[in-house]
């Protein structure tokens, strides 16, 4: 099986957070199952670009990767050269897979695949969920009316990372079947964390204090304000607790968060690491005692899954796709999207430190079993097989239409 992935960004594009880690891992999981995978991606990395060769394919993790220059738009990722490459190459693959909706590469992939009769799979990456559709709603409604809705109907299938996302997609009444395959994790790497202490030392966090980690970009959908409010409500009862925001300030929220922490009287116990690369993420996990994810909407929750695989207990909102796994495994707590309720759960976890390692071990066992490369690769290959079977059946029906029964004439 030969699969072409067409993406707005790929490895090293750390500004984009979880998807920049999850998409390459999905491709590598497929390679592990014997799939021949090629990736066409722009060199986008937020306002900057990744340090990678352009217009020249190379092998990374068994995947053939080619980067093309992104001309404009940190998110839209306009790249005429990528479009031309996709036009030349996509007919030579069994299937095309793209991710995201409001980007030039995904639009190009869906249109060209349909034009050339190649089935295309779209991973919406949460962009068809309620919060995402409501955010900048006027622009998105205009986009959907002009091009988005028509291209969505051309997707042979939608790949959702969790059932929470699948239910949102189904509610929109889209004609394409929606399949659930979770994000893949490099569980071996996450179980071999660096020694504890380097990030604590850099930020001035005492070695024996309890670090509550919020891992991810600072963005309204992540609700860092809610995480801070929950922490501030319990900070007086747990003087050794520290709150660490680890990730880039994508939406310029750090000043307001610092002001809120000062007003709540806990400014000296709230820290900001800024952008972290892959090694920095592993160090943050090593230096943390608990992961807090207060997101308004997450189609999966890559940072939470990574924390599970690293053996950290979790406190996450019920709006995170990973919530059902956390609840079933007893890997932490799931809270309503409410500061008082979240603070109560956080206090419960902090007041019982002896229970945290047990939760962490349960979560780690679940993550290794369900989100490892081999398990996820098998599931995605099975989805591809079903998509290809349906496409072949559709071609057969078009080439061999059922005879139309004529109306019997009277004598």
pLDDT in tens, the chain (411 residues): 999 999 999 999 999 989 999 999 999 999 999 999 999 999 999 999 999 999 999 999 999 999 999 998 678 999 999 999 999 999 999 999 999 989 999 999 999 999 999 999 999 999 999 999 898 888 888 888 877 778 888 899 999 999 999 999 999 988 899 999 999 999 999 999 999 999 999 999 999 999 999 999 999 999 999 999 999 999 999 999 999 999 999 999 999 999 999 999 999 999 999 999 999 999 999 999 999 999 999 999 999 999 999 999 999 999 999 999 999 999 999 999 999 999 999 999 999 999 999 999 999 999 999 999 999 999 999 999 999 999 999 887 777 776 654 444 443
Domain residue extents for the chain: 2-184+372-399, 192-370
Fold of 192-370: Rossmann fold (3.40.50)
200: DSSP letter: H
Report whether CATH 3.40.50.2000 matches the domain 2-184+372-399. yes
> SS3 for 278?
helix
Distance CA 299, CA 303 (A): 12
> Residue for token digits 């080619």?
66
Tokens of 362: 């349960």
Helix 302-309 and helix 278-287: axis angle, to 10°?
60
Q: Which residues are CB-neighbours of 171 under 8 A, at least 6 positions away? A: none
Domains 2-184+372-399 and 192-370 alike in fold? yes
Closest CA to 23 of 108, 148, 124, 131: 124
CB atoms within 10 A of CB 72: 9
> SS3 for 322?
coil
């Amino acid at each position: 099986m030969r699969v072409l992935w067409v993406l707005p960004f790929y490895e090293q594009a750390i500004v984009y957070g979880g998807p920049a880690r999850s998409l390459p891992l999905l491709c590598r999981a497929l390679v592990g199952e014997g799939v021949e995978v090629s990736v066409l991606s722009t060199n986008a990395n937020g306002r900057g670009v990744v340090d990678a060769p352009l217009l020249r394919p190379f092998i990374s993790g068994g995947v053939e990767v080619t980067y093309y220059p992104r001309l404009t738009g940190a998110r839209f990722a306009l790249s005429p050269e990528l479009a031309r490459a996709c036009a030349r190459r996509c007919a030579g693959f069994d299937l095309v897979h793209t991710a995201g909706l409001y980007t030039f590469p995904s639009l190009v992939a869906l249109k060209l695949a349909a034009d050339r009769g190649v089935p295309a799979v779209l991973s919406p990456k949460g962009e068809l969920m309620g919060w995402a559709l409501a955010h900048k709603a006027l622009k998105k409604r205009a986009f959907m009316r002009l091009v988005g809705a028509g291209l969505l109907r051309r997707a042979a299938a939608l790949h959702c990372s969790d059932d929470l996302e699948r239910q949102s997609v189904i509610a929109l009444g889209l004609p394409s079947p929606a399949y659930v395959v979770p994000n893949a994790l490099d569980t071996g790497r996450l179980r071999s964390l660096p020694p504890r202490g380097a990030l604590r030392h850099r930020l001035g966090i005492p070695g024996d204090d309890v670090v509550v980690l919020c891992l991810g970009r600072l963005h309204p959908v992540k609700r860092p304000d809610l995480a801070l409010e929950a922490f501030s409500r319990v900070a007086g009862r747990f003087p050794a607790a520290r709150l660490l925001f680890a990730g880039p300030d994508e939406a310029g929220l750090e000043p307001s968060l610092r002001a809120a922490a000062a007003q709540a009287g806990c400014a000296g116990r709230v820290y900001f690491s800024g952008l972290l690369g892959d090694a920095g993420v592993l160090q943050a996990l090593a230096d943390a005692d608990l992961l807090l994810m207060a997101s308004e909407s997450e189609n999966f929750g890559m940072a939470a899954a990574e924390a599970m695989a690293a053996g950290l207990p979790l406190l996450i909102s019920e709006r995170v796709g990973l919530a059902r796994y956390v609840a079933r495994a007893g890997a932490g707590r799931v809270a309503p999207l409410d500061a008082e309720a979240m603070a109560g759960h956080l206090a419960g976890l902090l007041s019982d430190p002896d229970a945290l390692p047990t939760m962490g071990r349960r979560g780690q066992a679940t993550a290794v079993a369900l989100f490892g490369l081999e398990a996820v690769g098998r599931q995605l290959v099975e989805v591809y097989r079903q998509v290809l079977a349906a496409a072949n059946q559709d071609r057969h029906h078009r080439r061999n239409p059922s005879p139309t029964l004529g109306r019997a004439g009277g004598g």
